[in-house]
Amino acid sequence: MSDIQSHQTRRQHVTREEEADRCLNHTEFTKGSQLIVTLLFLFIVFGVPAAQHVVEIRENLKLRASWSPASGDPQPSLAPQVYDVFGLLPTSNEIKEARGFWGYWSLIPSGESISTFESSLKENSVLTKSLLSPAQAIMSSTLGVGNEKAYIGKAGWLFYRPDVEYVTSDGFLDPARLKLRAHGTSAIQPDPVLAIVDFKNQLAKRGIQLIVMPMTTKPMIHSEFLASTHSDKTPLQNPAFDKFKSELDRQGVLLFDPTPVLSEARTTTLLPQFLTADTHWTPNGMETVARALSRFLSAHSELAPVKSPGYLMQTLRISGQGDIAEMLKLPQGQTIFPKQEVALERVVNPDLSPWEVDSSSDILLLGDSFTNIYSLDSMGWGNSAGFAEHLSYDLGRPLDKIAINAGGSFASRRALAQQLASGRDRLAGKKVVVYEFSMRDLTEGDWKMIHLKDLPPVFHPKIEPSQPVKAVTPKPPIAMPSMTPLASKKLPKEPIHAVTTGPKPSGKPSTNTKPATIPVSSASKAPGAGGTKPTIKPLASNDLLVTGRIAARASTPKPGSVPYKDCLIALQLTDLKVNSGSVKGPNIIVYVWGLKDNQLVDGRYSVGQSITFKLSTWSSVESKYGGLNRQELESDEALSWAAFWGEIK
């Protein structure tokens, strides 16, 4: 073949560039098709914003029609949310009052405030609301597909992705994994052993015993609804957990493992131990673990006998959606994952008032959402029927509690340290601290080393085994046949033994007679969250009114990124001008709403902005907001600042 023929043969193969050039430069459109494409483009570009304006203005008109000057709230604006962008810019007064380079620098909108504004626009957009939920409904119902946070299992069961990753990931104590997490995008302390041992040593200086309770995750007990190949009844577990237990045992830390308790209860009763569409346990599972932990405390702790508070029970049924189902962002009123009804036993005082935290108790329970569910109304599963309430009932003694949704690896420890630093000695008179956290925090939590304010050691006289702690007879289980397709079977009368580590002294606890059970309908349920007084004293007209500049703020999680609908964020308020009342120190912490009912509400709080707040001391509202997920300031110095709840004036 000649060179000319070879060249002609090669030129028969058209390159991609040549093909694209032919398509773009030699394609002809009719006038009608040109008009249609142009109009479609203009409709997409301008139609969506126009529709957004129409929808928001109509909603704002409804809000304005229902607004009353007597409410004290400002009159709702008619302008759509997109115009709130001008609120990120400094006001003329702020520009006039700015001094020096850093004064003007602080007027620039922070990246956090801009990101929050953009996220809020996206969450409230017409396209998101009209397309995301229906698309997810089709994917979930027909394809069985969840999203980045939720896995759809069999028989309508849902699983939280971090819970699944806990049992499927490498050992959380693997040196390479610890190093990777410590030097990731956000610096954290990844080793739970270091933090727990440090916490134990600090408590030991005060004569207080620490008992650690890593809470079992849902896939560990009910893996049959997630993976059909797993037929073994043995609970799943992360490969590093045995090493974790042995390390704590070697350091003298007592560990109560609820996993064998829940596994045996599931096998012997055939009742589910976790909610179908929620990350948390059923009332049956929670009560079983509370009974086992009460016996563990009686056997391993030297607690003085106390007079029984005479707690009673109120029985009722309540239904809830489930936090994992809500993370799927399905349409309102969806029936793919219907509400689940459960039976609760509320713990009440002899006068039928809800169980309350007793700060003078010698036992302090530090917990997370596993402690709060069935205690906080905002979680959607009732109140006064949670883990702390039932543990207190089974022990037959009052209980102190600090429980915060999310951040089990540090949130409750940090809240304790904050109260100590502010002068409120929450450890006074304590002999035992029970530290409950989800096992998922072992793989993804930030195990910050938190220093407790130094206090003189507290002397506790030794109680001989002849003075046992009084305990109540375990209460019978509640059969819930409508909860799952599993067969119903009553729990055994005898509590199930927990697998434990650490020394066990001699001596057996005695038992008391169980108080009477008082049935009550859900309509007669007493108000208020369990563990706290339900009534908050309203603010007086001359309460604290402060104007200050936001020097720092905590970040807010994106809606749907965590299994909690509500979240508070901490603000550092400085340059204080007290209009009424008095404030000590140049800096204070002000907690405000960051996320409410899965909606961002914190766009107005930008660093450098000056705001006037009506403040309430945090201790006065802690019963109402203390259990909610809180995003704190990173500064250790902030632990000593006075904390308040703030409402914009």
Quick one: pLDDT at residue 393? 97
| Lowest-confidence segment of 140-144, 366-370, 529-533 by average pLDDT | 529-533
539 C-beta neighbours (distance < 10 Å), count = 15
Return left, alpha or beta for 9; rule: phi > 0 is left, psi -120 to 50 is alpha, else beta: alpha
> DSSP letter at 385?
-
Burial class (CB in 10 A: 0-12, 13-18, 19+), 101: exposed
Quick one: pLDDT at residue 627? 83
Quick one: pLDDT at residue 56? 83
Instruction: Report d(CA 459, CA 429) in Å as an integer.
Output: 9
414 sits in which H/E element: helix 411-421
Residue 235 near residue 263, CB atoms below 8 Å: yes
Quick one: pLDDT at residue 533? 38
Quick one: pLDDT at residue 386? 96
Residue 403 near residue 371, CB atoms below 8 Å: yes
Residues found in the chain: 649
Provide the total of helices (H) and of strands (E) in the chain, helices listed first. 22, 20
Mean pLDDT of 69-93: 74
Quick one: pLDDT at residue 504? 37
Query: In this structure, what is the dihedral angle of CA atoms 415, 418, 424, 427, given to the nearest 10 degrees?
Result: 60
**Token pair for residue 302?**
């030297």
- Kindly report the CA angle at 282 between 277 and 286, in degrees rounded to 5? 145
Q: What is the pLDDT of residues 464-490, one digit of tens each?
A: 433 443 433 444 443 333 333 333 333
Quick one: pLDDT at residue 72? 55
Quick one: pLDDT at residue 623? 81
Confidence of residue 515 (pLDDT cuts 50, 70, 90): very low
Q: What is the pLDDT of residues 291-326, one digit of tens each?
A: 999 999 999 998 999 999 999 999 999 999 999 998
> DSSP letter at 608?
T
Mean pLDDT of 392-412: 94
Residue 568 near residue 632, CB atoms below 8 Å: no
Q: What is the pLDDT of residues 177-201, one digit of tens each?
A: 999 888 865 678 999 999 999 999 9
Mean pLDDT of 500-522: 40
Q: Do the strands 599-600 and 588-596 form a parallel or antiparallel pair, or are they unpaired?
A: antiparallel
How does the average pLDDT of the chain come out, rounded?
80
623 sits in which H/E element: helix 618-625
Token pair 């007084």 in the structure block, residue: 533
Query: In this structure, what is the dihedral angle of CA atoms 204, 208, 211, 212, given to the nearest 10 degrees?
Result: -60
Instruction: Report d(CA 231, CA 223) in Å as an integer.
Output: 8
Token pair 């205690």 in the structure block, residue: 375
Mean pLDDT of 74-93: 77
pLDDT at position 598 over 80: no
Instruction: Report d(CA 355, CA 398) in Å as an integer.
Output: 9
Quick one: pLDDT at residue 215? 97
Query: In this structure, what is the dihedral angle of CA atoms 130, 131, 132, 136, given to the nearest 10 degrees?
Result: 120
Q: What is the pLDDT of residues 216-275, one digit of tens each?
A: 999 999 999 987 665 567 899 999 999 999 999 999 999 999 999 999 999 999 999 999
DSSP assignment of 218-275 = HHHH-GGGT-TT----SPP--TTHHHHHHHHHHTT-EEEE-HHHHHHHHHHH---SB-
**Short-list 306, 276, 281, CA closest to 213:** 281
DSSP assignment of 290-317 = HHHHHHHHHHHS----------EEEEEE
Mean pLDDT of 328-350: 92
511 sits in which H/E element: strand 510-512
**Token pair for residue 400?**
């102190």
Instruction: Report d(CA 137, CA 332) in Å as an integer.
Output: 11
Q: What is the pLDDT of residues 544-585, one digit of tens each?
A: 889 888 888 887 777 766 667 788 888 999 888 888 778 888
Which carries the bigger pLDDT value, residue 170 or residue 465?
Answer: 170
Q: Do the strands 545-553 and 610-617 form a parallel or antiparallel pair, or are they unpaired?
A: antiparallel
Confidence of residue 10 (pLDDT cuts 50, 70, 90): low
Using CA atoms, how far residue 122 sits from 114, 167, 378, in Å, is 12, 34, 25
**Token pair for residue 303?**
């607690």
Q: What is the pLDDT of residues 30-73, one digit of tens each?
A: 888 888 888 888 888 888 888 888 888 888 888 788 877 765 55
